[in-house]
Homo-oligomer: A and B are copies of this chain.
Amino acid sequence: MTVTLADVAARARVSPATVSRVLNGNYPVAASTRERVLRAVDELDYVLNGPASSLAAATSDLVGILVNDIADPFFGIMAGAAQTEIGGQEGTGRAGGEKLAVVCNTGGSPERELTYLTLLQRQRAAAVILTGGALEDPDHIAAMTAKLSRLADAGTTVVLCGRPPLPGSDAVVASLAFDNRGGGRRLTEHLLTLGHRRIGYVAGPVERTTTRHRLEGHRAAMAAAGLGGDTAEQERLTVHGPYDRRSGYDATLELLRRDPELTAIVAANDTVALGACAALRDQGLRIPHDISVAGFDDLPFSVDAVPALTTVRLPLFEAGARAGRLAMGNEAPPPGGIASIAAELMARDSTAPPRA
């Protein structure tokens, strides 16, 4: 029924071993023989049996890219960049030694994250890239550390992208961590420099590294300006929620309720900031005249917002591409396996000095 390697061998009048060698290209084969084999492959429309090949070789050409939310361009950009770097840009049609880069959407659920890792482990994946912030629950961290060790033992290359290093684990080849803390600090410093003193903060989901680091940066800047306040005050000006538009909308209304004198709102990311803007507009407030708004990530749409959104740029594409190369072993890991990726303040029109 389906054509096998043996069929190709018969047609090319060589042994199966030889066919295997030309297909994998990692062994010397006479040019004439190779050509004969390749011709037979095309004539028979032969497609390698991946499972059989993976079983025999004890490794597959699958590379998994885990993301928290595939509908969020934050992840889409990183994943796309990584996939480009991995999938090869050739396109010979015949599909030679390409890797199969695939993205898996965890939806932010820790269980699904682990399930996907198990599934990838089951497939004997060549590499796994974990993107985005990590959950800070101790149990989950322990489970992840164990799972990643298991993967690494089985020969899977593990790379972290936009996620802080896993303490005490040598399973990870490289961690590319965004400087969320520094970015958060600079963003709030920008607001302070403009003259803002009462700043509301729409944070991301609790127990996420990204959420915590950005918030820490914000509070560090506030504290440095002598505006830290006590814990109760800090919490009063902070509302947590998911990384979506709705959350930004609701949280902003809540912050306004808690303190109508707010002159600025800092959002966990650009999407949340958009929701915040909508809420403010619905309250009849003008941005930045009545109140300033800032986001984080600098997604493509942020520059088109009205007014253009002040935010912190993260080099998502570059980071994803680098993660892809690291996963493929095409780039040397950074010293210590850890790299911090700079976050750059993009001051635009949604922030301005507060009204007198």
Residues of A within 8 A of B (CB): 2, 45, 47-55, 60-62, 64, 69-73, 76-77, 79-80, 83-84, 87, 89, 91, 93-95, 98, 100-105, 107, 109, 111-112, 114-116, 118-124, 150, 154, 244-245, 271, 274-275, 277-278, 281, 300-301, 303-306
Most buried by B among A71, A95, A244: A71
Copies in the complex: 2
Is A87 a contact partner of B70 (Cβ separation < 8 A)?
no
The smallest beta-carbon distance between A108 and chain B, in angstroms, is 11
Is B80 a contact partner of A70 (Cβ separation < 8 A)?
yes
The smallest beta-carbon distance between A62 and chain B, in angstroms, is 8
The smallest beta-carbon distance between A102 and chain B, in angstroms, is 3
Is A55 a contact partner of B47 (Cβ separation < 8 A)?
no
Is B71 a contact partner of A71 (Cβ separation < 8 A)?
no
Give chain B residues whose Cβ lies under 8 Å from the Cβ of A53. 51
Report the Cα distance A79→B109, complex, angstroms. 17
Is B105 a contact partner of A83 (Cβ separation < 8 A)?
yes
| CB within 8 Å for A121 and B47 given contacts A69-B80, A70-B70, A70-B79 | yes
Q: Can you list 29 A-B contacts with CB-CB less than 8 angstroms, sorted by A residue number?
A: A47-B121, A47-B122, A50-B54, A51-B53, A61-B119, A70-B70, A71-B73, A71-B80, A72-B76, A80-B105, A83-B105, A84-B105, A84-B107, A87-B115, A91-B114, A93-B111, A95-B119, A95-B122, A100-B119, A103-B103, A103-B104, A103-B105, A244-B300, A245-B300, A245-B301, A274-B301, A278-B303, A281-B306, A306-B306
The smallest beta-carbon distance between A66 and chain B, in angstroms, is 11
Is A104 a contact partner of B107 (Cβ separation < 8 A)?
no
Give chain B residues whose Cβ lies under 8 Å from the Cβ of A103. 70, 102-105
A60: nearest chain-B partner, CB-CB:
B51
Instruction: Determine which of B60, B101, B303 lies in contact with A104 in the assembled complex, contact meaning CB atoms within 8 Å.
Output: B101
The smallest beta-carbon distance between A321 and chain B, in angstroms, is 13
Is A71 a contact partner of B77 (Cβ separation < 8 A)?
yes
Instruction: Determine which of B64, B275, B304 lies in contact with A274 in the assembled complex, contact meaning CB atoms within 8 Å.
Output: B304
Report the Cα distance A278→B302, complex, angstroms. 11
Give chain B residues whose Cβ lies under 8 Å from the Cβ of A277. 304
Instruction: Determine which of B49, B69, B73, B102 lies in contact with A122 in the assembled complex, contact meaning CB atoms within 8 Å.
Output: B49
Is B84 a contact partner of A98 (Cβ separation < 8 A)?
no
Report the Cα distance A339→B107, complex, angstroms. 28
Report the Cα distance A69→B115, complex, angstroms. 25
The smallest beta-carbon distance between A286 and chain B, in angstroms, is 11
Report the Cα distance A52→B53, complex, angstroms. 9
Is B124 a contact partner of A50 (Cβ separation < 8 A)?
yes
A95: nearest chain-B partner, CB-CB:
B118
A72: nearest chain-B partner, CB-CB:
B76
Instruction: Determine which of B91, B109, B244, B281 lies in contact with A112 in the assembled complex, contact meaning CB atoms within 8 Å.
Output: B91
Report the Cα distance A120→B95, complex, angstroms. 11
A51-B52, A72-B76, A95-B115 given. 10 additional CB < 8 A pairs?
Answer: A50-B54, A71-B76, A83-B104, A89-B112, A91-B111, A91-B114, A93-B115, A95-B118, A101-B104, A245-B300
Is B76 a contact partner of A45 (Cβ separation < 8 A)?
no
Is A91 a contact partner of B71 (Cβ separation < 8 A)?
no
Report the Cα distance A124→B62, complex, angstroms. 13
Instruction: Determine which of B51, B95, B301 lies in contact with A301 in the assembled complex, contact meaning CB atoms within 8 Å.
Output: B301
The smallest beta-carbon distance between A129 and chain B, in angstroms, is 13
Report the Cα distance A315→B330, complex, angstroms. 41
